[in-house]
Chains A and B, each alone.
Chain A
Amino acid sequence: MSRENIIKTVEDSPVGEKYMILNHKSGLTVFLCPMKKYSAMYAQFTARYGSLDTAFRTDAQKDFTRVPAGIAHFLEHKMFEDEEGDAFMKFAQTGANANAYTSSDRTSYELSCTSGMMENLEILLSMLTKPYFTEESIRKEREIITQEINMYRDSPYWNVYFNLLRSLYHRHPITVDIAGTAESIAKIDRTLLLFCHGVFYNLHNMALSVSGNFEADEVIELCDRILESSPEIKIDREFADEPPEVRRSFFSKRLPVATPIFEIGFKNSPLPKQELLRKSIAADIALEALCGETSALYSRLYNAGLITDSFDSELACEKDLFAIIFSGESNKPQAVLDELLKEIEEFRQNGVNEEDFRRVKKYLYGKFAMGYSDVESIANALTNAFIEERTPFEGIRILPEISIKEVNDAIREYFDFGRLALSVVEPVN
Chain B
Amino acid sequence: MTDRLKREEILPSVFFNSFTDGLYKSNRISINLFMPLSRDKAAKHALLTGVLAKSSKKYPSLQSLNKKLYDLYGAGLVSDVSKIGESQSVTLHLLSVANRFALEGENVLSASADFLCETLLEPNISGGAFIPEEVEIERARLIDLIESQINDKRSYAIHRCSELLCEGENYAIPRCGYTEDAEKISPEELYQTYRELLAGSRIEIFHVGSDDSSDVKALFKSRLSVLERRPDRSIVTMSAAPRVCRPPKNISENMDVTQAKLVLGFAAEESKSARDSVAMLMAMMIYGILPSSKLFRNVREKLGLCYYCTARYDRYKSVVFVDSGIEAANRERAAREIIAQLEEIKNGEFADKDIREARLALRSSYRGVFDEARLVESYYMGNIMSGFDKEPEEMAAFADEIGREEIINACRGMKLGAVYCLEGRGVSA
| B192 close to chain A: CB less than 8 A | no
Tell me, yes or no, whether B3 is within 8 Å of chain A by CB: no
Cβ-based interface call for B390 (8 A): no
Chain B hits for A428, CB < 8 A: 256
- CB-CB < 8 A to B101: which residues of A? 365-366, 369
Chain A residues in 8 Å Cβ range of B300? 144
Which chain A residues numbered 18 to 54 have a C-beta less than 8 Å away from chain B? 37-40
- Give B27 Cβ to nearest chain A Cβ, in Å: 10
Given A95-B357, A156-B151 in contact, is the A38-B364 Cβ separation under 8 Å?
A: no
- B370 proximity list for chain A (CB < 8 A): 39
Is B327 interfacial (CB 8 A cutoff)?
A: yes
Q: Is B367 interfacial (CB 8 A cutoff)? A: yes
Closest to B259 in A: A150
Q: How many residues of A contact B (CB 8 A)?
A: 67
- Across the interface, name the chain A residue whose C-beta is closest to B300: A144
Say whether B74 contacts A95, CB under 8 Å.
no
Chain B contacts with A in 364-393, Cβ cutoff 8 A? 364, 367-368, 370-373
B141 contacts chain A at the CB level, 8 A cutoff: yes
Q: How far is the CA of A255 from the CA of B153 in the complex (A)?
A: 12
Of A92, A257, A362, the contact of B150 (CB 8 Å cutoff) = A257
Residues in B whose Cβ lies below 8 Å from that of A140: 301, 304
- The stretch of A3-11, A163-171, A298-306, A386-394 in contact with B is A298-306
Quick check: is B66 within 8 A (CB to CB) of the other chain? Answer: yes
Partner of B256, one of A15, A255, A261, A329: A255
Chain B residues, Cβ within 8 Å of A360: 70
> Using Cβ atoms and an 8 Å threshold, which residues of chain B touch A370?
25-26, 74, 95-97
User: Does chain A have a CB within 8 A of B428?
Assistant: no
Q: When the two chains form the complex, which single residue of A150, A258, A359 contacts B258, counting CB atoms closer than 8 Å?
A: A150
Report the minimum CB–CB distance from B83 to chain A (whole Å): 20
A185 at the interface (CB under 8 A from B): no
A148 at the B interface (CB under 8 A): yes
Interface residues of A in 87-104 (CB under 8 A from B): 88-89, 91-98
Verify B73–A365 contact, CB threshold 8 A. Answer: yes
In the bound assembly, the distance between CA atoms of A258 and B72 in angstroms comes to 35
Interface residues of A in 112-161 (CB under 8 A from B): 112-115, 140, 143-145, 147-148, 150-151, 153-157
Interface assignment of B111: CB less than 8 Å from any CB of chain A: no
Give the 3 A-B CB pairs with smallest separation, nearest first.
Answer: A95-B360, A366-B73, A258-B147
Chain A residues within 8 Å of B, Cβ to Cβ = 15, 37-40, 86, 88-89, 91-98, 112-115, 140, 143-145, 147-148, 150-151, 153-157, 212, 255-259, 261, 293-296, 298-299, 302-303, 305, 308-309, 329, 359-360, 362-367, 369-370, 372-375, 428
A-B contact pairs, 15 of them (CB 8 A): A37-B23, A40-B371, A86-B292, A95-B361, A95-B363, A97-B361, A115-B363, A144-B304, A147-B325, A151-B308, A153-B259, A256-B257, A258-B148, A305-B140, A364-B74
